[in-house]
Structure 1
Amino acid sequence: MKVLVVFYSLYGHIRRLAEAIVEGVEEVPGAVAILRRVPETLPEQVLAKLGATASQKAMAHIPICQLQDLTDAAAIIFGAPTRYGNMCGQMRQFLDSTGKIWAEGGLVGKAGSVFTSAATQHGGQESTILSFHTTLLHHGMVIVGLPYTFTGQTIIHEVTGCSPYGASTMSGIKANRMPSKNELAGARYQGRHVARIAAKLIK
């Protein structure tokens, strides 16, 4: 059973969550995680000005997602950073290329899930995931979140991401905060949870 984890990451925060999700998926017997990234749309000179060249090079070995990867998977977990409370343009452009799959019902009945990051604690993590769900519903996917059985989202002794909608992290305004131990645990839990739900849907 293939579980596709497809993401966009500028500075590496979403990539780190994606790697944790892959770990969680592969803890489920019979599940195989496929890690893919969506194409970058920013010119190299803009990436350089943003200080993202090194992080982009570090992800260069991860294959670009093809539309066939979506239809081949039993479940898809999408990762995208927040841009003003919504998904980033790179992910939006990729999703906008899936019209043929939509017309053919290629994703109907598959488990779909979302994770995200934002610069600040209240920077749109939940609205990004919820607005992302609209696209998944148009594709007929079965939305899977991050249930409260992941008790890490009930803690109050530290600032942390993660919500019932999906795993998340905060990068900080200068993008110098990487996902915490609790946030990575939430991502691994989400990977396991989606894989288990996907297996039940297949049966």
Structure 2
Amino acid sequence: MRLPSTAHTSRPWRIHEIAGDFQLEDVWALPTPGGPDDLHYLVQQITSGTNDKAGVPSPVYRALFAIRWYLGRLLGWDKDRDGIDSRVRTLRDRLPADLREAPRGPDAVSVPFTSVYQLHDEWAAEAANRTVHAVMHIGWVPAEGGGHRGQLAVMVKPNGLFGAVYMACIKPFRYVGVYPALLRAMGREWQETAAERAAGQRG
């Protein structure tokens, strides 16, 4: 479910301290119910790339990403010179001392996001190409009716007019083909690994 921007901006996330010049694009409630200490399980699921093994992405989702990566190769959008620490500096350079000393967290396997920091209730990762510098923020929040769940926020810093136009063009595709499939995938895998998480908590 898509949420209002205030679901992210009203919370005292540490990401606000280091990404104030980024635009908040989207905020989504994740179908990942759990306990107060379960964020690290969600981060592990996102970064491990196991969603692909589950055959989760829909044909529309797969087609959209195939087109995106094809265009990126064809037009040179994803070259190393346009990435983190090349075209843009990593957000880790902005971290205050306590966050710099905190666990960094894992990098993602199936998507080109590099971890910036990981805390008990939030994780941030970044990616950059010729179009944008993007931040994926996963928070762990109280859920209505009790318990906790994940919350996804996407922040971007477009690369000039080209990046702004690119973000505007892909917006309908994100809402129709990408986010719905991604959230369904995430929810299914979260349910499938419930017993595994429970065993880990008992151990």
| TM > 0.5 | no
- Higher helix proportion (structure 1 or 2): 2
Q: TM-score, normalization: structure 1?
A: 0.30
